[in-house]
Structure formats: C-alpha cells, structure tokens
Amino acid sequence: MSKRMDCYLLYTVFVVLLLLGAVSQSNARPRANRPPNFMRFVTNATDFASEDYYDYIIVGGGTAGCPLAATLSQSFRVLLLERGGVPYNRPNVMSHDGFLTTLTDVNNFDSPAQSFISEEGVPNARGRVLGGSSAINAGFYSRADKQFFDNSGLNWDLTTVNQSYEWVERAIVFRPQLRTWQSAIRDALLEVGVHPFNGFTLEHKVGTKIGGSTFDRAGRRHSSADLLRYARSSNIRVAVYATVERVLLASSPSDSGNNVSAIGVVYRDQLGRFHHAMIRDRGEVILSAGSLGSPQLLFLSGIGPRSYLSTWGIPVALDQPHVGDFVYDNPRNGISIVPPVPMENSLIQVVGITEEGAFLEAASNVIPFASPIHSVFIRAPASPLYVPVTTIMEKILGPVSTGSLRLASTDVRMNPIVRFNYFSDPQDLERCVNGTRKIGEILRSRAMQDFMFREWFGSRRFRFVGVPLPVDQTNDLVMAEFCRRTVSTIWHYHGGCVVGKVVNCDLKVNGITSLRIVDGSTFNISPGTNPQATLMMLGRYMGLQMLRERMRYK
C-alpha cells in the first residue's frame, strides 16, 4: 500500500472515531428481534383518545422511565409517553454489530439516536426510542461508587438500592466473554499496577474488573424497555411517537401566595394532533426525558429564570433560576491504533478503576471504508475495505467543570443548546493528565507488544489513528494540552435539574406540586464508570419509594 493510500486510510478511520468514539461495525447484516409479549400495551400515539386520566404520567420511556413505569403500574394507572418508536423492529439497534450504524444513521425527528453538538464543537448523541440511551449505548453495566451515593443529595435506602439493582440485573445483564483485545487490556492494566484484579463483578471496586453487559452471548441487545415485562398490563399504557409539548400547570390561591400544581401534559402524535393526558387526584407528572429533555420541558412549561423565559415570550409559571444550570459531561480522551492482526468487534467489557480519579476502558472495532481510487480506476462497484481499529480511552471521575443548557427553539423536537465547559476546572484537567499517562504505561506494557507493527531492522511501533500521545509524557503542560485538544464525549452527560437546586431530596420540583423528575438531569456527579445501571436502578427505586409514600398517606 502506498504512503498516500496509507495516510488516507488512517485519516478516514480517524474521522469516524473522532465523531463517535469506540464503536462497532461488521459486514454482517443484523437480524431484527421478535417483539416481546409485553408489546401488546405499546401503541402508537395516534390511537390514543384526545383526553384521558391517569394516576401517573411519565414523560420519557428511557433508561429510568421504563422501570419507573413498570413499578408504579403494580398499583396505579400509568401512562408512559415516548417520543420515539420501539427498538425491536430495528435490526441495528438490537444488534451488537449495529452500534455504529445506529449512531450515524440519524435524522431530525424519528431516528433512534438524535445527534447534537455542544457549543465546544464536541459531537454527542441522545436516545429517541423506547429504552432511551440504554437502547443505543455500548452496553457496559456497572453499579455506582460510594462517592455517588454520598454526594448525590438523596437520602438513599441502600437496602432498596441493592434490591433495585438486582431486579434490573436478573432481567437484562450478562457476563461478557473476553476475546483478544479485551483480554490484552485486562492483562495490561494489571501489568501497569491497576490492582487488584476483581474478576467479574457488577460492583464498583478500585482495580481491574470485568463488568456486566446488556448484550447477551448472541450479541442481542437488552435495554430498559425489556423491564416493561414486569408491568401490570391492565394498569399501563405506553404511547410511542408521542412528543410532549409542555406540562400543564394550574395556580390556586393560598395563605402564602399562589400554589402551582402540575395537572397533566399536552402531547402531539405523528399526525400533528394534540392530546391531553391529565392526572387524577393525588397523581403526579414525572419527567424522565433526560438531561437535555427534562430542563427543556421545564423551560417550555414556564418554569425557569423569569427574565430568560420572557425573552422567548413564554408565560412564567415559576421563577426558578437554576433550571438548565449545573450541566456536566465526563470528557473522554484516548488513542486509537490499527493492529497488525485481525481483530474482533468488542465494546467495553473491562475497566480499570484507578485511585487518581480516572477510569480506563477499551474497545476494538472493524470499520468499513471504500477507497476513492476504486471509483476512479475501476468501473465495477467498489467493495469496502474493513479495517480493524483498537481504542484505549479514559474517563474522569465527576466531573467538577460545569456548563449550562438553553433553548434553541420553542419547538420541543429541536435540541437545546448546551455548553459543558470541559476542563474549566483544573481538577478535571489533572485527572485527565493522570489518566492519559496511564494509557502511555499501558502502551509500553508487554501485553501490548503483539499490537505493534514490525519495522525494518526489527524495531516495532504502533500505527496510530489520529493524534498519538505526546512523546514527553512527563510534561504536565504538554499532557494538559493533549487533553484539551483531543477531548470528546463518552455520552455520560448529566445535570440540568440537579438535587438541591431544582428538585428536592425526593426529586420533587421545588415550588411545584405533583411534578417530579426521575432521570440523570438530577445528578451532580456521574455514577461510577458508566451510568446506565444506576439510572435503571433509580427508576425502580423511585417507583418503590413512591408506592410506599402513597401507602403511608392512604
């Protein structure tokens, strides 16, 4: 292969990785899964009445919303509203090998993944399908760390926490089978001192471990949507392609002023028709629309800073200055290499949890690309060349750096504007420097020798895709500049409606009766290495807490 062709190959692969990070693709076409039996209560929103009444209305059938709905339906009538469709008839969504296609095959209004770009220019994605981001992510499953429970602002009942995790895990969590790349990463982490080896565990433990996966051994995805199998079918209705426009609020006079209460929501179906879903006495509206969707809906419902809402012409129901503030995204930095040997697809299975506030993960991918030379010199259709790429990445604890979210439009279908202010706090930058230095140690380990190309005269080197680590990894300033220059996302953004600012310790919206938020927008810290386990736990946990609350005041 010529040097020019070699450079073009590496550049093309790098562009894909820069956009999406560690992703998986193969040349086998994934097959659709048969819809599960519980889908009988999932209906297109066009089939719903123009008005109906429920005990609980949950906005967002995502990672937290599905287990929450399943739990509440045991005793009450529940409506779950999802703006996207179902995952089970989408082969790429349901397959390990369709991960890349799901994240790249996007449109403005109904693709399972909705892309957005932060004001810093970092590409990102959010779920728009039943199951939410748990239906489009890399499937790694690991419980939260102690620091999350100590600092999240909720008064956790840890017995119920553990029961809620176990409820999720019995249904959708599997032990992955390590192959070449993940095994090498495990060995390298141990070689460079990320001790001890904790084996396979779902717990967050310092050292190297194999985590759980929501992909089964056949490569089929399981998501929070699967947890709807636990719902009481007579008590639940799930509307897909139901876009909630705003929360309906009502004011009533009291001795201390006006009381503002949520009384329902307005949602629109695919045909553009409006529907009203209303809550019964002592019912609640619960936002589970995620870290972009929940603050966006509060704004559009008139809950936010008075002066800001007035600039959009939105009538102010409650002057709440902190909606859209305290938004975080855990930066991801790392390197990618082309190995000299064939490589399997693997999403994240092994993690190194360091004492320095960095989490180390890896993936291997087979990425297709078609050379333009074929189209110039050969009349026959070009066959894509499948290139193996391996990635080592680090995510930092926290983060401490905070950003903000604002409306881009009063059309709820449009992404809000978000700025995460990556590395604006020096503590985040220090953690990134520590993490990327550890990646350098991994590359120098014996376990990585087989992934180097043999050069003339017996020397070996890695063939990097994109920016390699700096040569002088002892220089703090050089390493910090690498972190800033190569920052990307690992899709673990959170905040925007955080506890103590927008919601209280029961996740009830401050100043509004009968309105609660149950999703990652309430988090001021990311739970452990990966958030999906804790978000699904949160849905189950809050459902149980709410059922107990109703029983106490029955």
Taking a C-beta distance cutoff of 8 angstroms, is the pair 28, 104 a contact? Answer: no
Residue 82 in marked binding region: yes
Quote the crossing angle between the two packed helices 476-485 and 426-443, to the nearest 10°. 100
The annotation status of 532 as a binding-site residue, yes or no, is yes
- With residue 94 as reference, give the H or E element that holds it: helix 91-94
- Asked if residue 549 belongs to a known ligand binding site, the reply is no
21 is in an annotated binding site: no
Instruction: Find out whether 492 is annotated in a ligand binding site.
Output: yes
Structure tokens of 191?
């070689």
Q: 388, 343 in Cβ contact below 8 A?
A: yes
90 is in an annotated binding site: no
Written as one letter, the residue type at 366 is: V
What positions carry a catalytic annotation? 492
Q: Which of 291, 298, 304, 292 is nearest to 265 (CA)?
A: 298
Instruction: Map 43-86 to HEC letters.
Output: EEHHHCCCEEEEEEEEECCCCCHHHHHHHHCCCCCEEEEECCEC
Name the nearest CA neighbour of 90 among 79, 101, 104: 101
Angle at 343 between CA 340 and CA 344, to 5 degrees: 175
Distance CA(138)–CA(152), nearest Å, equals 25
Is 403 annotated as a binding-site member? no
Query: Which amino acid would we find at residue 464?
Result: F
Which of helix, strand or coil describes residue 55? strand
In one-letter notation, the amino acid at residue 19 is L
Amino acid at 426: P
The reply, when asked if residue 86 is annotated as ligand binding, is no
CA-to-CA distance for 73 and 344, rounded, in angstroms? Answer: 42
**What token pair was written down for 296?**
């966006």
The verdict on whether residue 196 carries a ligand-binding annotation is no
* Strand ranges (E), 177-305: 197-200, 207-210, 212-213, 236-240, 243-254, 257-268, 274-287, 303-304
Q: What span, in angstroms and rounded, lies between the C-alpha atoms of 496 and 296? A: 9
267: its two tokens: 């949602």
Cβ atoms of residues 331 and 487 within 8 Å: yes
Q: Which residues are annotated as a binding site for FAD?
A: 82-83, 129, 244, 491-492, 520, 531-532
Positions at the binding site? 82-83, 129, 244, 491-492, 520, 531-532
